[in-house]
Amino acid sequence: MVYSVKQDTFIVMSYNRNGTFENEEWVYSGTACKQEYRAKYRDLIIQETSLEAHIKDVINRLVRTGSVDNEKSPGRPSVSEQVVDDLRRLGKNLHL
């Protein structure tokens, strides 16, 4: 199943809304999020394991990229940290 950005946003909001502060740390309930999602989108037929995996993917994507959008390639190859460090060093040594 292909999820919309609106559905992914709902997942993030539900996941956050169902968090509780216990023993000095935040604890989040994937189960509560899943139940809320099923109540909101009750007309959709989704396999349990598929929804669980998707919730994890959406939360991980948000943590990794700061967005629920699917990651898109910028159209050019990525640059390694080593290359970035080398360019920074070269830039510091340039005297124009």
Local confidence band at 96 (pLDDT 50, 70, 90 cut-offs): very low
Specify the pLDDT at position 8. 94
54 within 8 A of 80, measured Cβ to Cβ:
no
pLDDT digits (tens, 9 = 90+) for 66-93: 888 876 656 666 777 887 777 777 776 6
CA–CA distance, 84 with 88 (Å, rounded to integer): 6
Give me 61's structure tokens: 């994507």
pTM summary value:
0.69
Specify the pLDDT at position 23. 92
Helix axis angle, 30-40 relative to 48-65, nearest 10°?
110
Share of the chain above pLDDT 90, in %: 42
CA–CA distance, 80 with 50 (Å, rounded to integer): 33
Helix axis angle, 30-40 relative to 5-17, nearest 10°?
130
